[in-house]
Structures are given as structure tokens and as C-alpha cells.
Structure 1
């Protein structure tokens, strides 16, 4: 198996794993007969109670149950479409915005570019979760009088806000990649021959830039997943936080069964029934590992592409030729000790 075949196989397997999980979640939620299983008590053959919820992971209940007896595996499957779907949609929207801004920034030579670059660079040092929390708190946290927006409206607002928050850092990355590519000799030759910016972008730049863009997209999805997870710890759940202001109420809870809500509402279980918290966190971790593996495989394809191998071979030949030339040259001059001319 060649390296390129190995990397292609890795991309297909890892991407298929995420898509199959998303598809299974969609089918689970579309099936009206499918409900989250609940096991409150377990009996033996004689009808004697053997135990009550929460039950730890076992062969019968792989992910265990929560304190109400609901199967955590069913909850994770139901919430996958919201968590993964939101991350994919937000990342796609952010990617489109960042691509437009980044490519424009790579081509432009205006003075405002330096100013905007410095402004957007500040987003590298400000935690995106903190920005998202301050913007989304009035939208997601239920007020005393109740929500004036619907669940769909809150989801749309959250998707737009998260996309805008992630866009600046991605735009800088694409701008730097574009600017670096425009410095290549074949781009300079195209400019000399009178090629327009649009012609250079689509004819010369995009064939080389597209693989780098494919590497960027999984990393954006990882960023979004981390922000959504952090918001869950801040009790801001995707789609809204259901807050009760009456006495003797339950703690704030999510409106939908998504992974960040399952983590945020159960983090206190880590020292008690650890599986209730660890199961959704494991889903986040595995998804991020799969996405990171996709990015690494794409980078491997870039390193083993014929064009890059040819360029590297040409560079090695040039370096070897320069070394050989320097060895043949005689940099020393004979000095007459007697001082004769």
C-alpha cells in the first residue's frame, strides 16, 4: 500500500464514521416509534429487585443509565444530529465567510489590510468561548417571563453568532495562505502576461489552494465543537437553557438532548456515577480525534502529491548543484610571504 492510498483510505474511513453517526442520529429522530429507553429497576427471575438506576455500563446497557433510568446511549444518539449537525453547518458558514474575506485580503494591497490584520489577530488571544458566552447569554438563557423566541429562532441566531466569532482567525489563515501562494514564480509570470485577479485565482491559485482549504475545514469544526462544549459548562446549552424561577425547582436544563447539555448538567456526577458525564465527553473526544485524523491525512496527501514531490526534487537538485559548484571553486588566494609582487 502506497502512502497516498493509505491517506485516502484514512480520509474515507474517518469521514464515513462521522457521517454514519450523523445519519444514524437523523434516522433515530425521524422514527416516531423510537424513544429513549428507560430502565428504573432490574428484577431477577423470581421478581426480586436487584438494583435501581443509575446503572453502570454493561453488555445489556453499553453506556449505562442516568439517575432517571434513561439509557445514555439513546440520549447520545438522539443528540448527535444537533451537536454534529450544528458544528458542520456553523463551520461551513464560517468557512464561506472566511474564504471570501481571506482571498480578498490575500489579493489586496490596501493599507487597511494591515489594520484589519492586527485587529483580527487579537482573536487568537481572546477565548472564543468567552466572546460567545457574552453575546449569546441574553439569547439562550431563559428570562423570568419566558422566551420570546422559538427554538428554531434561537438555533439560527446561535449558528450565526458562532460562525461570525470563528471567522476572523480563519480569514487570517486563508489570507496568509493566499498571499504566500501569490508569491510563487508561476503566479508572477501570469501577472506579467496580463492575467486578471479572477483568472489567476481560479486558474492558477485554486488548484494549489484547495487542498490547504480542505485541511482548514476540519479544524474549524473542531473549534466549533470546543466552543459548544465550553458553553455547556457555562450552562448555556445549544437551543436554549430551560430555567425555573419557582422555589424547589430543578437546576437549569437543555431543551434538546445534545452533547454539551448532557455534559453541563452532569459534570457533578464525575465523582459519583462517572459514566453519566464521561459518555458525552468521550463522544466529543472521539469526534475531535476523527476530525484531527482527517486533517492529518489531507496534509499527508499534500506532502505526497506529484507536484510537491517534483518541486522538492527540483529544490534538492538545485541545492546539490550549488554545493558541487562551491566545492569546485577555490576561495583561497596564495599570499607571498616575502612580500614580492
Structure 2
């Protein structure tokens, strides 16, 4: 079957599926307090120390300052990190894509105004726009409020990326409109719905997958930035990081684990390196899938590129032609 040729994609999706499965099933096998201890003793009852504890047979990845097992927290919080990024990407793609199609086909006259208005979202970093809105969700999380907090944060993170999807969609459709098969459809009397269903749908589907993977990486990066600022996905915990008075992540999502422990880098680097490397690993997997799909789907056979290429300098080309002309004239005189 054709989908079996996407080996990297299959491997990447399998890893993500296993990780999500372990995370969702954590309540069945993992301790609710993440194996948190205040004092560690050996088998003979001898006092070993206080948290944070380095990696050992008792704590494979070590523990944080509160004595919680980092590995258990990462397994539990993995679902919040991944599903939040997936949900944000889905909202961006659906809302931005649909609005972009509507403006490109039915409201084309208003498109220049919309592009000028949305240009600010491409010039200003997304975190600056979203930071004031995300501050509204800086509340203590609980089992009753966690879903409302997650939904609000998902809307905020999606909002800052919708303009980018909208503009990319309009650029793709505008490029496709110039192709002969599109112009022939309109000349034969096809309406916008027919063109969208028969001509545009295959291209928008292919480009949409790659755009979705791009925004999935973008969403993960944005979530990590917010974690560094102390805005954790799912809210903060009533418990603080012991001894530092730093808010504790309620959901134990990876960006929160990075943000709440970044001050420990010099004293106990394993506390922050474990979730940080896991975060990078997920981004590498998604980028690997994206590159394989881009190559296999041959998305640019129409000449459209999602990333702008630098145009060759005309002045340099003219200078090269002049140099060749001078060299040719000198050769003629020498003869």
C-alpha cells in the first residue's frame, strides 16, 4: 500500500501514539503524588538526602525540588503538551483556511484590505500579542476548572496563528487561479463551489498537511515560551516550588516543567534537561514527518513555495554580461 512508503511518518506517529497512550493510562499504574518524598533513605534506613535527587535506580531521571519523580511527571503531562499543540493547530487550520477560501473566492475585492490589516501579525512576534491574553489564565488549576482553562488557552494560542494560515491559503489559491486548468474551468461556466470541490480540494489538502505540521511546531515553540514566562498549560498548582516561591505546574506539561525549574540549571541540570530534551525530540519527530511528506507529495510541482526564495539580483546578472562582453572584445582585438 502507498502509505507504507512513508516510513519516517509511520515511525514518528507510532512514537507519539505510544507516548499519548502511556500518558492517558498513567492513573492506572503511576502514583498520584508522582512518588514524591521529602527525605530519602536507603534499605538500611540510613539518611541519603533531601530533594532534588539525582538520577538513580529510585529516580531514573531524578526528582525536582519538591521530591516528585521527573519521569512520572513527564509521562503524565505529555498528553497536555501534545494535545494542546494539536488542538491549537486544528483551530488555526480550520478557521484560517475556511476564511481564506471565502475571501479568495467570494470576497476577493476585500482581500487587499484584509492582507494589509493582518500584516501586523506577521511583523510582531506572536508571543507579544498573546502574552496579555494568556495572563487571564494565570489562575490556580483544579479538576473542576482545568478544561475551561485549557479551552481558553487553546483559543488564545490559535488566535495569533489564524492570520498566518489565512494569508498562506489566499496566496496558494491566488497562485492556482493563474493555472490554465483553473481558468478553463471558469471559462466553461463552473462556479466557485465546483472549482473548490474538483480543482482546489486536492491541492489544499496536500498543502494543508504541510501547513498543519508547520503550525504544530510553531504551537509547541509558543507553548514553551509561555512556560518560560510562568504561564503553564492548565493553570498553576496551589503548591509552589519548595524554597523558590515559583508557581508549580498543575498539569505537569513539559513547558511548565521547563519553566518552573529553569533556575535549577546550575545546581541540578537534570531537572530541566529531561523535559527540554523530550520537547526537542518531539519537535524533531514532527519536522522529520514534515520533510518526508514534502518530498513524497511533490508539493511544489506548480512552482509555489511556502517559503519565499531570494530573487536573483538583476544588477549582478547585468554586470556579469558586461564583463563577458569586455572579455570577448579584448579577445577579438588580440586576434
Please say if 1:169 is aligned against 2:164: yes
Identify which of 199, 202, 211 aligns with 1:207. Answer: 202
Conserved? CA contact 1:55–1:65, under 8 Å: yes
Give the equivalent residue in structure 2 for 1:118.
116
Conserved? CA contact 2:62–2:69, under 8 Å: yes
Shift of 1:62: 3.0
Give the equivalent residue in structure 2 for 1:81.
79
Q: Secondary structure at the match of 1:207?
A: helix
Conserved? CA contact 1:240–1:254, under 8 Å: yes
Please say if 1:196 is aligned against 2:188: no
Shift of 1:197: 0.8
Give the equivalent residue in structure 2 for 1:337.
none
Identify which of 290, 293, 299 aligns with 2:294. Answer: 299
Conserved? CA contact 1:7–1:300, under 8 Å: no
- Bigger Rg, structure 1 or 2: 1
Shift of 1:55: 2.6
Shift of 1:244: 8.8
C-alpha separation in 2, matches of 1:58 and 1:103: 55
Provide closer, same or farther for how the CA distance between residues 93 and 214 of structure 1 changes in structure 2, counting only shifts above 3 A.
Answer: same
Q: Secondary structure at the match of 2:25?
A: helix
C-alpha separation in 2, matches of 1:43 and 1:241: 30
Shift of 1:37: 2.3
Shift of 1:154: 1.8
Give the equivalent residue in structure 2 for 1:136.
134
Provide closer, same or farther for how the CA distance between residues 227 and 180 of structure 1 changes in structure 2, counting only shifts above 3 A.
Answer: same
Q: Secondary structure at the match of 2:265?
A: helix
Provide closer, same or farther for how the CA distance between residues 46 and 236 of structure 1 changes in structure 2, counting only shifts above 3 A.
Answer: closer
Q: Secondary structure at the match of 1:252?
A: strand
Conserved? CA contact 1:154–1:240, under 8 Å: yes
C-alpha separation in 2, matches of 1:298 and 1:64: 37
Provide closer, same or farther for how the CA distance between residues 208 and 152 of structure 1 changes in structure 2, counting only shifts above 3 A.
Answer: closer
Provide closer, same or farther for how the CA distance between residues 286 and 48 of structure 1 changes in structure 2, counting only shifts above 3 A.
Answer: same
Give the equivalent residue in structure 2 for 1:314.
none
Conserved? CA contact 1:86–1:159, under 8 Å: yes
| Structure 1 unaligned spans of 5+ | 310-341
C-alpha separation in 2, matches of 1:226 and 1:11: 21
Conserved? CA contact 1:182–1:205, under 8 Å: no
Q: Deviations over 1:36-63 (max 9, x none)?
A: 2246555555443445432323465332
Conserved? CA contact 1:7–1:298, under 8 Å: no
C-alpha separation in 1, matches of 2:239 and 2:79: 26
Q: Deviations over 1:146-192 (max 9, x none)?
A: 99x93322221111121122100111112111221222111111111
Q: Secondary structure at the match of 2:160?
A: helix
C-alpha separation in 2, matches of 1:141 and 1:39: 27
Shift of 1:194: 1.0
C-alpha separation in 2, matches of 1:82 and 1:68: 21
Give the equivalent residue in structure 2 for 1:182.
177
Give the equivalent residue in structure 1 for 2:320.
none
Q: How many residues in Structure 1 have an aligned counterpart in Structure 2?
A: 297
Give the equivalent residue in structure 2 for 1:329.
none
C-alpha separation in 1, matches of 2:5 and 2:121: 33
Shift of 1:32: 7.1
Give the equivalent residue in structure 1 for 2:305.
none
Shift of 1:15: 1.6
Pairs within 5 Å for 1:1-341: 8-29=6-27, 31=28, 34-35=31-32, 36-38=34-36, 43=41, 46-58=44-56, 61-108=59-106, 110-137=108-135, 139-142=136-139, 150-242=145-237, 250-303=245-298, 308=301
C-alpha separation in 2, matches of 1:255 and 1:38: 15
C-alpha separation in 2, matches of 1:91 and 1:130: 19
C-alpha separation in 1, matches of 2:288 and 2:3: 15
Shift of 1:87: 1.0
